[in-house]
Structure 1
């Protein structure tokens, strides 16, 4: 805000405590207060006490209502309260943005292309949201874009906002450096195209460090600025990191003719997003509220209601006790290893009990004691060598699948007096059966390969037939932008006056041209009319290249010619 006028003393507002002065402007002063309930810091904008006109008060009340409708947008400042003090001063309590505004930041240093594009798209989404609500801001500039604590831009100061097509009040205002040419004439203006120009001028300011038509070190009075805005071409940014596509986007947004500008803030944002994509930058989301579809609420039967229960006090100094699990879920340091206070469940078979943990000695079955042979860790280890030459892998897998303990496998042989070889016979039989099944499978694979080679592989489907049946018809693309015609020149003072024709004029068309030579091309510059003066090059010729550009950004092939 401007500091030319000292701010008025802060008013007494019930429920708020004054902290400091934030700034003063043409119609109001802004202070930092602390709100009591809820406790937070807020920015309070107070209407000037000596500004008593009906138009000023009407604008202030309109700002409160407009900001209340739009303040849920992430890039618009949130308004908390609108009221009148006991002394009769109208005020707004709104979100406090502690970081420097874009105006302060741009004066300290120019923005990078990446950040300027991102901020431009974010603010464009806020402007589009306002336009969809039928509200035109009419005073977009870097000073009216604050920055939140989370480093997000927030559009504010809707003090001279109004409907889309309205004439300004007799005591209204404007910010000349960011205003389009039609703002300086009498009559109603299109609020959308005014905001498009101002948003383009704001992005230009972030990249240049000054408003578009300010001449550093020159005469920058309001009269001179208004004259340049109305007639002078948009100066190029002159930065090596700014692509030509971005220059064209800004030139379109700030076209002298309102009809040649982007038709919406969304169209401008999409053009900026295309520049981001061309530069391989992260594309910034464009955030506007979509239409909300009303759906019938589903009855939940009260299952999702919040229940009130008693509060349990926990001593923070106490040691947490270990949870108690059923014995079936208690394990040792390693998965599958038994703990020291419970017998391993792998031995818990009917009719068998253990008297010594960690060993099979002392096992009893049907009243008789079995000799201890294998300990539980040996059963569970498939890599450990087999005891007494037994096939350990088969034995361990039988136990893991629930086929019984080793004692169960050996007990029938010991009780019947059979030799150990017969007790192991079922395991050997299964081993031979598995080997035989593998041989049969290998033979089947060999037979299949022979049949495949003899009969041949199935013929592939005709690609043309499948393409005809399944492929969607090609998308029909519209005609290309035609090149300019009738490019001709008339000798002038050290150069030539060039003119050309547009073979298919469309609303919003403009041109870009460059002075060229036989080996190189100059920088393309936008021009609204089909004529330009080009000086002679070192060879005594005036050479030019011209392209036709649609308002959508589509460009025709270039047309080159030299004179004489």
Structure 2
């Protein structure tokens, strides 16, 4: 490993006082400054003076523009300003996240399942918001997930990001999808989905997905494993099969076998939270991050872009997609008591009827109240009766609409979030058959079990473990329809086997014991 490059001399920036260096990168250095007005600490990323001006400056300005589009999201680092120093270096002033990054946190100790699921859904909401704006991050990894002063994740470093359909150099190998190593392939949404899965896996395992502790983990070996080796299931006792299934789908070798969007991944993780009895984390996404604001009717009015918080803690596991809502309707509280990152004092969700007038002040609303009251008193009763009937009819239509399958629903007032039919949700997908027709043979102190796959599919593999009446041994993975284990003490040797499809779906366990 090459030694870390020392930071370049920090520039003098009017209105800011240098505090200390924070880190170095390939194209830039990051420093902690004290901003004078308003008085606060900020992280400033400064482009190196000796890099190619045209290419590096264009990349740097692209990062500033991309992050500016997204930085109002509660889980994306906020950008304050982008300028040029007196000596001609571009810099980016952004929110200072004082707590350790996700990279530092998992290296101190793996995250609990509850914390990892919460974090993953929050990151999915940030990434899906970027995708709705046509932006692919391309470098999602633990080091690019900072932690705010309020202990919330904040996705950063869009420096190698690109719009959907473009291609730029640069990646972090351990968290990159197999197709990232192919020449000329433009970045896509499913590459970010893979990296999200790899990041979740990392904080649960304590290492990136294809690092094998104690073995050769050089870059070339990692790339070969990423492209050709099956993902090892996490063997922690507190991790359910459903979470291993979700990670297998997110990190499938074939992009078409992955979740189609970060929203689909979040939906499955919400179901796993429900399965485990955890609070369901809200999925927060801008209705339309690329849309221009509507013209203001009053010059001094302030419009707050609505944020759709998607949570449905009461939905049963067998129900339809958890990410479904009536646009513009205030969502129910999910029961998640963790406070969101305070970007503004309040977050508002405007009903569709308020969309053209949401900027009016409370004083204006109060001034109109007496007139409205008088009008109501003189309103003919027949109109009131008709209004009640219309409300009942509309309410029934909405109820029927919410009972329809996702692809048959109608939506108004915002970008609908729909789950694609491919890949199948691993928790709700088609049934995977159990293996059958066990046989066994013994050689010395070992016993070899063999079984049959009743419906073989390309990419099938198996997870097996030796079991006793009270315990379960280490879970292992194989593509073969056989497994060898040590003969158990005291008589019978038993094994359980699960069939796993390439898309992450898994069968129930088949169990068999020697005579």
What corresponds to 1:22 in structure 2? 22
Q: Deviations over 1:513-535 (max 9, x none)?
A: 325679687666677x7x54422
Structure 2 unpaired stretches of 5+:
289-305, 307-351, 368-399, 406-427
Q: Deviations over 1:26-83 (max 9, x none)?
A: 1210011122222221111011112116433222111111101100000000001111
**Aligned alpha-carbon RMSD (Å):** 3.9
- In 1, Cα distance between equivalents of 2:360 and 2:136: 44
C-alpha deviation, 1:271, in angstroms: 1.8
- CA separation of 1:224/1:283 partners in 2, compared to 1, >3 Å: closer, same or farther? same
C-alpha deviation, 1:502, in angstroms: 3.5
Are 2:431 and 1:481 equivalent residues in the alignment?
A: yes
C-alpha deviation, 1:92, in angstroms: 0.5
What corresponds to 2:483 in structure 1? 534
What corresponds to 1:514 in structure 2? 464
Conservation of the 8 A alpha-carbon contact between 1:260 and 1:509:
no
What corresponds to 2:65 in structure 1? 65
Q: Deviations over 1:153-185 (max 9, x none)?
A: 0000000001223333xxx22111111222222
Are 2:497 and 1:545 equivalent residues in the alignment?
A: yes
Structure 1 unpaired stretches of 5+:
308-471
* TM-score normalised according to structure 2 size: 0.65
Q: Deviations over 1:266-315 (max 9, x none)?
A: 111122222221221111111112366463439989953999xxxxxxxx
What corresponds to 2:42 in structure 1? 42
- CA separation of 1:3/1:132 partners in 2, compared to 1, >3 Å: closer, same or farther? farther
How many pairs align? 388
- CA separation of 1:3/1:113 partners in 2, compared to 1, >3 Å: closer, same or farther? farther
Summarize the alignment of residues 228-377 of structure 1 with structure 2, pairs less than 5 Å apart. 228-290=225-287, 293=352, 295-297=355-357, 304=364
- In 2, Cα distance between equivalents of 1:249 and 1:22: 36
Are 2:88 and 1:139 equivalent residues in the alignment?
A: no
What corresponds to 1:79 in structure 2? 79
229-238 vs 200-209, which moves further: 229-238
234-243 vs 44-53, which moves further: 234-243
C-alpha deviation, 1:257, in angstroms: 2.0
- In 1, Cα distance between equivalents of 2:80 and 2:178: 36
Conservation of the 8 A alpha-carbon contact between 1:483 and 1:548:
no
- In 2, Cα distance between equivalents of 1:11 and 1:521: 60
What corresponds to 2:321 in structure 1? none
What corresponds to 2:148 in structure 1? 148
What corresponds to 1:195 in structure 2? 192
Aligned with 2:286: secondary structure? coil
- In 2, Cα distance between equivalents of 1:301 and 1:18: 41
What corresponds to 1:463 in structure 2? none
Conservation of the 8 A alpha-carbon contact between 1:512 and 1:524:
no
Conservation of the 8 A alpha-carbon contact between 1:135 and 1:163:
yes
92-101 vs 181-190, which moves further: 181-190
- In 1, Cα distance between equivalents of 2:359 and 2:90: 46
User: Greater CA radius of gyration, 1 or 2?
Assistant: 1
Conservation of the 8 A alpha-carbon contact between 1:136 and 1:164:
yes
- In 2, Cα distance between equivalents of 1:7 and 1:98: 19
- In 2, Cα distance between equivalents of 1:489 and 1:130: 52
- In 2, Cα distance between equivalents of 1:209 and 1:299: 48
- CA separation of 1:297/1:178 partners in 2, compared to 1, >3 Å: closer, same or farther? closer
Are 2:110 and 1:110 equivalent residues in the alignment?
A: yes
156-165 vs 250-259, which moves further: 250-259
- In 1, Cα distance between equivalents of 2:5 and 2:67: 26
Aligned with 1:73: secondary structure? coil
Higher relative contact order (CA 8 A, sep 6+): 2
- CA separation of 1:132/1:300 partners in 2, compared to 1, >3 Å: closer, same or farther? closer
295-304 vs 132-141, which moves further: 295-304
Conservation of the 8 A alpha-carbon contact between 1:163 and 1:191:
no
- CA separation of 1:514/1:59 partners in 2, compared to 1, >3 Å: closer, same or farther? same
Aligned with 1:42: secondary structure? strand
Conservation of the 8 A alpha-carbon contact between 1:23 and 1:30:
yes
Are 2:452 and 1:502 equivalent residues in the alignment?
A: no
